Amino acid sequence: MEHRPSLDPAVAHTRRAVRDALADVRPGAVVVALSGGADSLALAAATAFEAPKRGMTLISATIDHGLQPGSDEVAEAAARQAERLGFDARVERVQVAGDGGPEASARIARYAALSRIARGADAAAVLVGHTRDDQAETVLLGLARGSGAASLQGMAPVADLDGIPLLRPLLDLPRETTRAACAAQGLEVWDDPHNTDPAYARVRVRTRVLPVLEAELGPGIAGALARTAEQLREDATAFAAMVDETIEDIVEHAEAGIAVSVAALAANPAALRHRIIRHVVAGEFGQSLSRAQTLEVARLVTEWTGQGPIDLPGCTARRVGARIVFTAARP
């Protein structure tokens, strides 16, 4: 009997993750974001194996941010590997604006380019190579910002990119698995020097904070943080459904704005009350409220002593009889 070589476990894990992620995606083109690093290369190789079996065509998108010398050569090398894997390799060079810091600016430019490529190809999905370690870093950064449960939810396995599904198939796999998968398949990994530069907060979390947590609290911290994010996303989904159901009964249109019943807000638990307030402002005026702003509005319900209007981003909140009325801010 002919002996078949066993499939490397890391390769098997990445392929299974991609197969599961593509299960509900319509046939068509799939775009894989490819930097040349271990995570995106392992994702590209797994997608090259799984997607054609579902009648999908392969497009790789390598975004050259031009932030370091030789970035064009790195992008072309990544594209050549993609072509060897069977991809229609695309390289797009972008200008990174200075607003919001280099990391945020580069991310905005990258996703805008991915969206253009995907829409131009009528793609069924865009795949990115975030891993469990990336998720853990994201949760810790959100915790440091103190911005509440929304930031602690981390990255969702399925998101939306201008109407196109954005998939993160490797979100349950550790970074060591993607590197092992690349080694097993003979893929040449590029190590981004920015990933070891302590000037970036994410790098400090990766190289300093997480190792200390592992040393002091024991192994498995990254997995625990990722599980926490998943549980918070489940809670957020349930809360969102409750908010949508409740808002239909307690919100009414008012002149130049929207009004919410004080009695109905008071009858709800604080967590739901605060979410309703944030939801109303976001939905009607396209603005996000801070924790302090949300609590100030909530006091119009629970600690009413005749206080006047509250200026908020894009609107003003005031108590008028048995209602909280939100009106658009004057230009």
Give 209-261 pLDDT, tens digit per residue: 999 998 998 888 888 988 888 888 888 788 778 777 778 788 888 777 899 99
Instruction: List pLDDT tens digits, range 150-172.
Output: 667 889 999 999 999 999 999 99
Burial class of residue 134, CB neighbours in 10 A (0-12, 13-18, 19+): buried
| Domain locations in the chain as residue ranges | 9-225, 255-328
How many residues are given for the chain?
A: 331
Distance CA 60, CA 4 (A): 31
> pTM of the entire structure?
0.80
Domain 9-225 has CATH 3.20.20.10: no
From residue 273, alpha-carbon distances to 148, 176, 234, 241, 265 in Å are 15, 43, 19, 14, 6
pLDDT at 147 over 80: no
pLDDT, tens digit, 9 for 90 and up, residues 75-102: 999 999 999 999 999 999 988 876 666 7
Fold of the 255-328 domain: 3.30.465
Instruction: Give the SS3 label for residue 327.
Output: strand
Flag whether pLDDT at 2 surpasses 70: no
**Mean pLDDT taken over the chain:** 90
Q: How confident is the model at residue 73 (pLDDT cuts 50, 70, 90)?
A: very high
pLDDT of residue 38: 96
Question: H helices of 149-193, where?
Answer: 149-152, 175-184
With a cut of 50, say whether residue 1 has pLDDT above it. no
Beta carbons of 175 and 131 less than 8 angstroms apart: yes
What is the band of 149 on the pLDDT scale with cuts at 50, 70, 90?
low
